[in-house]
Amino acid sequence: MASRALAALSIQPRLGGSASALGRPAVRVSARPPRRRRSMVVRAGGPPSTNVLILAFVLPLSLFVGTLVAAARVADDLDERFLREVRILYEQASADWHVL
């Protein structure tokens, strides 16, 4: 008797089977009615819409152009600072040479 109880506890239930391990029919434990299985067909969408094209091409292009403009402005500012510094150093050096 104890071995029978142990055997009943050690049997794993089958998934997707119509009968349980003990030979009894499987009982549905759901309040919902069974759903019909419908085959789903996945279709590719048509050509991309205008909004998709704008997001895919125009937005990155505008960000790239904006980056180039910002880089050019920073480069001009750095050039101007460098030339101003060189001019100041040149004037100081020429003033030192005139003193000697």
pLDDT by residue (tens digit) across 9-22?
A: 555 555 555 555 56
User: What is the pTM assigned to this prediction?
Assistant: 0.46
Distant-in-sequence, close-in-space partners of 22: CB < 8 Å, separation ≥ 6: 8, 11
Q: What dihedral angle (degrees, nearest 10) is formed by the CA atoms of 52, 58, 63, 68?
A: 160
pLDDT by residue (tens digit) across 42-88?
A: 667 788 898 999 999 999 999 999 999 999 999 999 999 999 999 99
- Give CA–CA dist 53/59, Å, rounded: 9
pLDDT at 90 exceeding the cut of 60 = yes
CA-closest candidate to residue 26, choices 16, 35, 18, 15: 18
> What pLDDT, on a 0 to 100 scale, did the predictor assign at position 77?
98
> What pLDDT, on a 0 to 100 scale, did the predictor assign at position 67?
98
Q: Let me know: does 18 contact 26? Beta carbons within 8 Å.
A: yes
Residue spans per domain, the chain: 66-100
